[in-house]
Amino acid sequence: MKGSPLEMQKIKLKALLAVVALGAVVLTNAPAQAAGTIKPGLKIAIMPKAINNGYFTAWNQGAQKACKELKAVCTYLGPTQATGPAQVQFINQVIQKKYNVLVISAADQNAIVPALNKAKAAGITIVTSDADVASTAASSRVVSILPAASASIGTAEVDWIAKATGSKGSVAILSAAATAANQNAWIAAMGPYLTSKYPNMSWVGGTVDKSVFYGNDDPATSTSQFDAILAQYPDVAGIIAPTTVGVLAAAQEKQAKNAAVQVTGLGLPSQMAPYIENGTVGQVGLWNPIDLGYVAVYAGASAKAGIFTGKVGSSFKAGTKSYSVTAGGIAYLGAPFVFDKSNIAVFKKIY
């Protein structure tokens, strides 16, 4: 339907008025928000995949540190179960309570996207940290703060298990939930790397996909899946648990059963210290979740203040360091850090 010339005139006039009004708003707002500074008193929601998880408690520590520096008011809130639908109820709460910024670790890379889009439409600045939404939904957040590229995390874990097993024997994986996007991306990188780099090593199930057991990030399930691996493949040489819950359960069960299998994966130094100190586990690795939370709060606050766009190539400052955005709207922290007998005493006190 095309409008008559008179109607077109009206529309043009309306558009002109709108532009003038917008200009007025910008002008009146300008003095209140001095360009380039983060206003104190920002309301920031820090949402883990699930509360009651040591990893996210550390993550929140970093976030709270940044909040203190920025004089922001931060609330740590989230579900008890790491599922998308459970998280959506809390995202709705964030919208309802009119937070300025939401820093979130996505429990489900798809299911929370409609809720995030609603939050974005309500004017909330969203930063994902630790776990991102699906790449097709990248526009729902400003930026994602991730530890390191998926491939490098996956291949590093293969190197650790190779070191523990003397580069020979078969390997199984004790993962989180079957739909956990982070773990799946790392596992995908492990598959070909192990078979090509270590000719004397193999996957217990033939291929990597058939060698993954899911502990659902639940201590009891992880323990029973660890036992299931040993029952199904008695000659398994090593188990990689790319999740803090899984690797802790594996270390405990290995010690309890006095099993010969080697265990490594992504573990919190504070939780893994007893097992590393007594030799049950040679080494585990992890990035620093404190840094992840810290940097994400700075990214969110900077974006809210208009001094950071989140576009590829743009950058923001967190503390003394500057981070720039790479392809896919992601800013990486750096490679995972390895903990073994030589340094565990220091790191177990930190996180």
Quote the least distance from Cβ 94 to other proteins, whole Å: 10
Alpha-carbon span 56 to 46, nearest angstrom: 10
Q: Which residue has the tokens 């922290």?
A: 333
Whose Cβ is closer to other proteins: residue 98's or residue 311's? Answer: 98
Quote the least distance from Cβ 96 to other proteins, whole Å: 5
Token reading at 283: 């080494």
Whose Cβ is closer to other proteins: residue 176's or residue 261's? Answer: 176
Query: What residue ranges in 105-187 does DSSP mark as E strands?
Result: 125-129, 143-146, 169-175
Quote the least distance from Cβ 98 to other proteins, whole Å: 8
Whose Cβ is closer to other proteins: residue 86's or residue 162's? Answer: 86
Which residues make up the interface to other proteins (CB under 8 A)? 51-52, 75, 77-81, 83-86, 88-90, 92-93, 95-98, 108-114, 117-118, 134, 136-137, 177-179, 184
Alpha-carbon span 104 to 141, nearest angstrom: 10
Whose Cβ is closer to other proteins: residue 164's or residue 190's? Answer: 190
Number of Cα atoms under 13 Å in the Cβ half of residue 54: 18
Whose Cβ is closer to other proteins: residue 43's or residue 317's? Answer: 43
Return all residues near 231 (Cβ < 8 A) that are at least 6 apart: none
Can you give the length of the chain in residues? 351
Quote the least distance from Cβ 42 to other proteins, whole Å: 18
Quote the least distance from Cβ 73 to other proteins, whole Å: 12
Contact 276, 283 (CB under 8 A): yes
Measured torsion, CA atoms of residues 40, 43, 45, 46, in degrees rounded to the nearest 10: 20
DSSP state of 326: B
Alpha-carbon span 244 to 157, nearest angstrom: 13
Quote the least distance from Cβ 155 to other proteins, whole Å: 20
Whose Cβ is closer to other proteins: residue 90's or residue 226's? Answer: 90
Alpha-carbon span 242 to 143, nearest angstrom: 24
Token reading at 342: 């030589």
Quote the least distance from Cβ 79 to other proteins, whole Å: 5
Whose Cβ is closer to other proteins: residue 191's or residue 285's? Answer: 191
